[in-house]
Amino acid sequence: MNKHNIGSLLMISLHGYVAGSPELGKPDTGGQVVFVLELAKRFARLGYRVDVMTRQFEGQPAEDFVNDNLRVVRIPFGGEDFIRKEDMHDWYGDFVTNALAMIRHRNIEYDVINSHYWDAGVAGQKIAEELQIPHIHTPHSLGWWKRHDMIGAGEEEMTGYRFEERIQKEFVLYRNCDHVIATTEQQTDLIVEQYQLPKEHITMIPPGIDEGKFTPSTPDRVAAARQKHDIRETDIYVVGRAAENKGYDLIIESLPHLLKLQPDARLVLAAGANSDSDIALLNQWKQVAADMGVSESISWRGYVEDDDLADFYRAPGIFALPSRYEPFGMTAVEAMACGTPTVVTVHGGLHEQIEFGRHALVADPKRPEEFAAMLNMPMQYPWLRDTLAVEGARFARRSFGWTGIARRTLQVFEHFKGRYDDLQTEELVAL
């Protein structure tokens, strides 16, 4: 069934409350835990035996059996109390010792180790070396970027993160593991630039979309979402954090051209506005709108609640990604999955994967007339709108649903399992 006969996978994710049904919102328990478990569930569904290994504390059971192919295995170390991920450094040796003792006592054989975040990566590398199997590491975040992002924080707060130790260990880890799976193009570039790892040692595989949440919906539900959130069929929706690279000013500059073609068009812009810097950017964009004479054609929205995300994607006529630079563009994939015709920037990774005119449309937001023309097309031609709605959703689900992401990840595993098989064969021949 599998090219290199991978049957058993060990995924390591040490921090937080990892469980078959995780208690999201608890300390260190959020996106990464969801990522690991969703991926593990798809590996199991595809016929692989998967152990998700984590830390045992606070009286948790040694194992959770999720299904016949998937279990959460907890290894005790560091005592019974919760330890935040920044303070777990000193216990890795105990984890490695206890994990290897359990693996050998039970005679478990794994074909590949996939570690998540640097704490699990450092430990996973030791285990992989002991077991002589390939180790693929997924960083999730980078110490260099985190430190860069916290410039200006107090000395005491910075000390608590132990950045020097973390960055040094990441540097060594990326060289020692067999391969790194980055989750964005930006992360790939940072690893190449700041950790000096050759790009061929990295594969970018994005997180999957929530296939249960981001789906097309019935006309009645779409109509209800439009009424609830004051969104129209002639609206263009843009959502994201407040940042210069997102290109919100560029789509505002394209509005006068669009309004000549679609006088009823309106931009619904949901950009975060929590910090002083966010508010300053929003004020800049509002000034751009005033200068362009399109203030009346923009509906400014703030943070969109998680429960409303899918309806905000479904309700408008068009979704736009006008970024100057976008490492990937997951919001566009989520919008496509919801059946909304989407216009994507040429300045990013996503446009290379779509088929123009079938999955989505592509334009340069730095050329306002060009971007406006693409925004107009699905509004002007119902047959194109229908094609993009159906084929875009199909593409998003197949390529970026968790099963598709799992298949792409398995291809990396199989490549390195095959390399180890070849090395072991050569060693036997030499003997």
| SS3 call for 339 | coil
Read off the amino acid at residue 401.
Answer: G
- Supply the pLDDT for residue 1: 40
The most distant pair of C-alpha atoms in the chain lies apart, rounded to whole Å, by: 79
> Are 295 and 286 a contacting pair, CB within 8 Å?
yes
- Read off φ and ψ for residue 281, nearest 5 degrees: -65, -45
User: Distance between CA 396 and CA 214 in Å, rounded?
Assistant: 10
Give yes or no for a contact between 379 and 317, defined as CB atoms under 8 angstroms apart.
Answer: yes
Tens digits of per-residue pLDDT, 110-138? 999 999 999 999 999 999 999 999 999 99
**Mean pLDDT of all residues belonging to the chain:** 91
pLDDT at 20: 86
Residue 317 has what pLDDT? 97
Q: Of 157, 179, 65, nearest to 413 (Cα)? A: 179
Q: Map tokens 């924080």 to a residue.
A: 153
Q: Tell me the per-residue pLDDT of 376-421, one tens digit each, with 9 for 90 and over.
A: 999 999 999 999 999 999 999 988 999 989 999 999 999 998 777 7
| Both tokens assigned to 1 | 């069934």
| Res 382: pLDDT | 97
Q: What angle do CA 168, 171, 173 make, to 5 degrees?
A: 110
Which pLDDT does position 426 carry in this prediction? 64
pLDDT of amino acid 3: 46
Considering the domain 219-400 in this protein, what is its CATH number?
3.40.50.2000
- Global pTM value: 0.74
Nearest CA among 175, 192, 180 for reference residue 136: 180
Closest CA to 15 of 116, 143, 159: 116
Burial tier of 84 (Cβ tally within 10 Å: 0-12, 13-18, 19+): exposed
Residues of the chain with pLDDT under 70: 1-6, 149, 152-153, 157, 273, 327, 422-431
Interhelix angle 163-176/117-131, nearest 10 degrees: 40
CATH fold match for the domains 8-208+403-430 and 219-400: yes
What backbone torsions phi and psi does residue 320 show, to the nearest 5 degrees? -125, 140
pLDDT at 416: 93
Distance of CA 228 to the CA centre of its chain: 29
Fold of 8-208+403-430: Rossmann fold (3.40.50)
The domain locations on the chain are 8-208+403-430, 219-400
Neighbouring CB atoms inside 10 A of 343's CB total 27
How many helices (H) and strands (E) the chain has is answered by 15, 14
Separation between Cα atoms, residue 116 and residue 227, nearest integer Å: 42
pLDDT for the residue numbered 2: 44
